Amino acid sequence: MSDKFYITTPIYYVNDKPHIGHAYTTIVADVLARHYRQKLGDKSVYFLTGTDEHGAKIAEAAKAANISPQEFTDQITQEFKTAWEKLDIKYNDFIRTTEDRHKKIVVDILNKLKEVGALYESEYKGLYCVGCEKFLTDNDLVDGKCPDHDREPEQVTEKNWFFKLADYLPIIEKKIKSDELKIYPATRKNEVLGLIKQGIPDFSISRSNKSVPWGIDLPWDKEQKTYVWVDALSNYITALDYPDGKLFKQFWPADKQLLALDILKFHTLLWPAILMALDVELPKELDIHGFFTINGKKMSKSLGNAVSPNELVEKYNPEVTKYLILSQFSFGSESDIRVDHFTEKYNADLVNGLGNLVNRVTNMIEKYLDGKVDKLAKTDFVEQVNSKIESLKLREALLDIWKLIQESNHLVDDSKPWDLVKNNEHDKIKEVLQTLANNLYNIATALEPFMPNTSQQIIDIITAKKITKPDKPLFPRLNNQ
């Protein structure tokens, strides 16, 4: 186990506002970063997120909004930053691909790729989907249209610079097979190995200015812009000030790079190939999660059903929002999020579950033990939850915590301390309440990466010299509608 932890999210496209799809990946990264900060110390953890601001898709969106691409990206990027602030996401850096610090290093990267002979010039003819920012093959089309964007791709013929992907694929395949480059979960690893078997053509790293006017110039050919994916993937090292920066030396290779399956090929094949050409170590692990739908439907601008994380934060608060999202499905699986069930789940798990437990236990300790318990201690339970967090089993970690909450509530119901009082069974009361106080302490400790404020609040209450029932419940009940 290394003594540093570098985690990244994809950098999000700024053609549209943040929705809970983007929030999901960012929240997962935040939980992992918080866990490792506790384990390794603040200075040993680096959590990077940001925005992907170049390319035809963004230029189109800016045009539709009637403002310049830079103004447009400034606005939407601010929306991402605000959303993360509201959700209490504690990233270390937020990179924008329009920043000089990024663009400068991308130019160095391109020059280096050319210098080492990883690039060659050729003609490209193909069907380009602006929505995907990629060339599609006939197999990708449904009724002649890109199925993801419901539009016909454009026929494009242009002179492009190509990257010799074929040179690197055999080594990448080996590294993926042996888990030297770990792809989690295994279903995605097999999917990538399958893709390599099918054969992947070299990809072009540039686009003519005519088709893509908004991007980084190729340093040796100002008629062409850098392919947006080469620009974007580089962010994971430009943000660390590759190649000589202190951060790069401390934090690269990335320990975990999170993404969803929609951008699997770019991260598992193009990205490692670019790094190999640059003679840079590969990330240790690429973690691919599923795509979720909302109330049974794919989130999209045209359907107008994209859920904003801001709305959820206003209704529930940041920590509860994170809990509700993360407890919906396991990392890696594809699933549906029932936002319409969130209030029901909130009332069940937080109001009746955790909040009620805190109230009952502190109330009884105040009444029956004069607010005093023996010293509380961490048990193996916290380790068990932490190891689930480290292997990205976040829903499972939360289920473990809520199992202990439920068991503790049952212990209160079954042992009935109020009856024990009537029978003067003081030792028994002490034993039960000590167990419950210890459980609460462990529940709160394990909850820290997910709900840091709630965790601290409970720890303060339960470790006070004289424990008293909180003045008001931790979680107010909400009307279920």
End-to-end CA distance of the chain: give it in Å, rounded.
Answer: 47
Taking the complex as a whole, how short is the minimal distance between the CB of residue 112 and ligand MSP, in angstroms? 19
Provide the CB-side half-sphere exposure for 140 (13 A, CA).
Answer: 16
**Residue 287 or 349 having the CB closest to ligand MSP:** 287
* 234 or 415: CB nearest ligand MSP: 234
Active site residue 267: no
Residue 3: is it exposed, middle or buried by C-beta count within 10 angstroms (0-12/13-18/19+)?
A: exposed
Residue number with CB closer to ligand MSP (257 or 454): 257
331 near ligand MSP, rule: CB under 6 A: no
Please confirm whether the linkage preceding 243 is cis (ω < 30° from 0): yes
448 touches ligand MSP by CB under 6 A: no
| 3 state DSSP class of 97 | coil
195-254 positions binding ligand MSP, by CB under 6 A = 232-233, 235
Q: Say if CB 355 and CB 458 are below 8 A apart.
A: no
Q: 271-278 and 100-115 helices cross at what angle (nearest 10)?
A: 70
The answer to whether 318 touches 87, Cβ cutoff 8 Å, is yes
Indicate which single residue of 10, 318, 449, 452 sits in contact with ligand MSP (rule: CB under 6 A): 10
Q: How far is the CB of 15 from ligand MSP (least distance, A)?
A: 8
Query: Residue 225 phi/psi, 5° resolution?
Result: -105, 155
Nearer to ligand MSP, 242 or 475 (CB): 242
Question: Is 19 among the catalytic positions?
Answer: yes
Minimum distance, C-beta of residue 18 to ligand MSP, in the bound complex (Å): 9
Minimal distance, residue 436 CB to ligand MSP, in Å? 38
d(CA 385, CA 479): 32
Among 25, 73, 409, 415, binds ligand MSP (CB under 6 A): 25
What interhelical angle do 69-86 and 309-316 show, nearest 10? 30
65 near ligand MSP, judged by CB under 6 A: no
Residue with tokens 């030396």: 249
Smallest separation, CB 226 to ligand MSP (Å): 13
Which of 61/260 has CB closer to ligand MSP? 260
CA distances from 381 to 331, 385, 405, 443 (A): 21, 6, 12, 9
Residue in 6, 12, 94, 450 binding ligand MSP, rule: CB under 6 A: 12
**299 lines the binding site for ligand MSP (CB under 6 A):** yes
| Contacts for 413 with CB less than 8 Å, ≥ 6 apart | none
Report which residue's Cβ sits closest to ligand MSP: 21
Whether 112 sits among the annotated catalytic residues: the reply is no
Residue 5 engages ligand MSP in binding (rule: CB under 6 A): no
Sign of CA dihedral 136, 142, 147, 150: positive
Active site residue 22: yes
Where do we find the tokens 């694929």? Answer: 169
Q: Is 285 in the site for ligand MSP (CB under 6 A)?
A: no
One-letter amino acid at 97 equals T
Active site annotation includes 298: yes
Q: What is the DSSP string of 404-437?
A: HHHHHHHHHHHH-HHHHHHTT-HHHHHHHHHHHH
Query: 30, 89 in Cβ contact below 8 A?
Result: yes
Residue 76 C-beta: closest distance to ligand MSP, Å = 10
For the question of residue 149 being annotated catalytic, the response is yes
What's the one-letter identity of residue 466?
A: K
Of residues 118 through 147, those in contact with ligand MSP by CB under 6 A are: none
Which span (18-26, 209-217, 318-326, 389-397) binds ligand MSP, by CB under 6 A? 18-26
C-alpha span between 231 and 221 (Å, rounded) = 16
Contact 93, 51 (CB under 8 A): no
Could you give the string, one character per residue 255-284, with x where binding to ligand MSP holds by CB under 6 A and - elsewhere?
----xx-xx---------------------
Q: Which stretch binds ligand MSP (CB under 6 A): 10-18, 63-71, 118-126, 396-404?
A: 10-18
Residues near 72 by beta carbon (within 8 Å), at least 6 away in sequence: 14, 58, 61, 62, 65
Least distance in Å: CB of 400 to ligand MSP? 23
Query: Binding ligand MSP by CB under 6 A: which of 30, 52, 255, 448?
Result: 52
Please identify every residue annotated as catalytic.
Answer: 19, 22, 129, 132, 146, 149, 298, 301
Contact positions vs ligand MSP (CB under 6 A): 10-13, 21-22, 24-25, 52, 232-233, 235, 259-260, 262-263, 291-292, 299
